[in-house]
């Protein structure tokens, strides 16, 4: 089965990360000192590309570390983030994941997110529910005032900082507390498992959110743009994800 084969490939790549010495393999991306990459990002991406295209020959492949990204509009495509949370990886925080989404004619059909440090495999197929290590998962039923808000700082887009922290302040006022973990794909899985109630980030790339978005939706949660619109996994987007009893009306007109 394709899903099992993808999970096997992802698990093997997790072993590469567990045995890595990331601090020796750091490179600065695009001259931006807050945008780091390691030789492992490329190594895992290449390995996944090889294995995924063996599983589905002829599929399109979109990987974060490529210079040019193929269109996913038609046919089958894989959208891959070999290390989501690269800064966490470099700093040894044990909070980075491998994210793989499979799309069909532009829509996400499967999502896999793997945290090798906790050996947690999150996955979903459209219409078939979401799972963590084989057990069905559900978003939280807590209202936000009893819940946690997670956020991403959209750190590569300086112009978004003021709005990010304005929204964060609102969320802080409406939640029990806030957290910033440093991996959007993992944040989405935390929403899907009901460990936190709301996540937002003002700009993410498809490889950050495509797999996690389906996992949240299949776990009974909602994922939209900040304005409440539908997200297309073919372009960068803001992302707002939340559990079944979260009222996000306090965000309208922020």
How many CA within 13 A on the CB side of residue 1?
Answer: 5
Which x/- pattern, by CB under 6 A, does the window 65-104 give for ligand IPD? ----------------x--xxx------------------
Q: Can residue 187 be called a binding residue for Ca ion (CB under 5 A)?
A: no
Binding partner of 90, given Ca ion, ligand IPD, none, CB within 5-8 angstroms per partner class: none
Enumerate residues 98-157 that contact ligand IPD by CB under 6 A. Answer: 152-155
In the complex, what is the shortest distance from the CB of residue 27 to ligand IPD, in angstroms, rounded to a whole number? 13
Which x/- pattern, by CB under 6 A, does the window 3-42 give for ligand IPD? ----------------------------------------
Q: Are strands 237-242 and 222-224 parallel, antiparallel or unpaired?
A: antiparallel
Q: Are strands 107-115 and 97-104 parallel, antiparallel or unpaired?
A: antiparallel
Q: Report the sign of the C-alpha dihedral through residues 181, 187, 189, 195, in that order.
A: positive
Binding partner of 109, given Ca ion, ligand IPD, none, CB within 5-8 angstroms per partner class: none
SS3 content of the chain, % helix, strand, coil (to 5): 35, 30, 35
Q: What are the start-end ranges of the H helices in the chain?
A: 2-18, 39-55, 86-90, 161-174, 184-192, 206-218
Cβ-contact 188, 218 below 8 angstroms: no
Binding partner of 212, given Ca ion, ligand IPD, none, CB within 5-8 angstroms per partner class: none
Query: Footprint of Ca ion on this chain (CB under 5 A)?
Result: 81, 84, 208
Query: Footprint of ligand IPD on this chain (CB under 6 A)?
Result: 64, 81, 84-86, 152-155, 182-184, 201, 204, 208
């Amino acid at each position: 089965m394709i899903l099992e084969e993808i999970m096997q490939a992802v698990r093997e790549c997790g072993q590469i990360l567990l045995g890595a010495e990331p601090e020796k393999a750091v490179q600065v991306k695009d001259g931006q000192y807050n945008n780091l990459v390691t030789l492992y990002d490329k190594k895992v991406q290449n390995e996944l590309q090889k294995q995924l295209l063996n599983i589905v020959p002829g599929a399109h492949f979109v990987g974060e570390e490529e210079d040019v990204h193929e269109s996913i509009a038609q046919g089958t495509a894989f959208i891959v983030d070999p290390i989501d949370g690269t800064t966490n990886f470099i700093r040894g925080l044990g909070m980075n994941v491998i994210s793989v989404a499979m799309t069909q004619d532009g829509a996400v059909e499967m999502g896999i997110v793997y945290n090798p440090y906790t050996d947690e495999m999150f996955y979903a197929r459209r219409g078939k529910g979401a799972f963590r290590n084989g057990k069905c998962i559900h978003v939280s039923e807590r209202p936000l005032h009893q819940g946690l808000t997670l956020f991403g700082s959209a750190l590569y887009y300086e112009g978004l900082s003021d709005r990010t922290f304005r929204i964060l302040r609102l969320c802080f006022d409406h939640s029990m507390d806030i957290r910033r973990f440093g991996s959007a794909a993992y944040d989405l899985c935390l929403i899907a498992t009901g460990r936190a109630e709301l996540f937002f980030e003002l700009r993410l790339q498809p490889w950050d959110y495509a797999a996690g978005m389906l996992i949240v939706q299949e776990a009974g949660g909602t994922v939209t743009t900040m304005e409440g619109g539908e997200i297309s996994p073919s372009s960068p987007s803001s992302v707002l994800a939340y559990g079944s009893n979260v009222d996000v009306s306090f965000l309208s007109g922020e």
